[in-house]
Amino acid sequence: MEFHGLIHTFPKHIKLFIASFIIVLSIGYGTGLMFVNTTNSYNPNGIEENYLGNEDDEEAETMKFKKSDREMLTTLHSHVLSMSFIFFFMGALVAITSLSEKLKPFLMIEPFVSIILTFGGIYLMWNGILWMKYIVMISGIIMTGVFIVSAIAILFQLLKKIR
């Protein structure tokens, strides 16, 4: 087999290695989304409540308190670092696909913009700029969409045969 530097030309064992990585990474990403769902952070008010608390809502099912400085820094630090690595590896794999040269840069670079907007937005919202909850929600949706598209594209490329 000839190696042309594109993912679909890799030997079978390397394709299986990459596919295993993408599948396990996707399971991890999915469980993260499940966690977001348990915090009711799938809507702007839920995002705000998750970080700023709901002590004023006497009818709240679950009492939440504003996150401390330490909790915020821990959350932001761990998420920004881990998401950067996730999207670095995904972007590196997208780079060696035969996807269009217009789609590749978007799938490779957009997640880093979304990481900054999502977690920077959370920090700004926590500091009182409440409209950032909309930016957080939109950028989080886009980031997740890019993850899904990239993962599917990589897996399809791994199934592609050399011609």
pLDDT in tens, 77-126: 999 999 999 999 999 999 999 999 999 999 999 999 999 999 999 999 99
CA dist 18 and 14 (Å) reads: 6
Query: Among candidates 33, 31, 126, 119, which has minimal Cα distance to 76?
Result: 119
Report in angstroms the alpha-carbon separations of 157 from 8, 111, 141, 152: 5, 20, 24, 9
Q: Where are the domains of the chain?
A: 8-159
Q: Rounded to a whole number, what is the distance in angstroms from the first to the last CA of the chain?
A: 10
pLDDT in tens, 45-54: 888 888 988 8
CA dist 50 and 43 (Å) reads: 11
pLDDT in tens, 115-154: 999 999 999 999 999 999 999 999 999 999 999 999 999 9
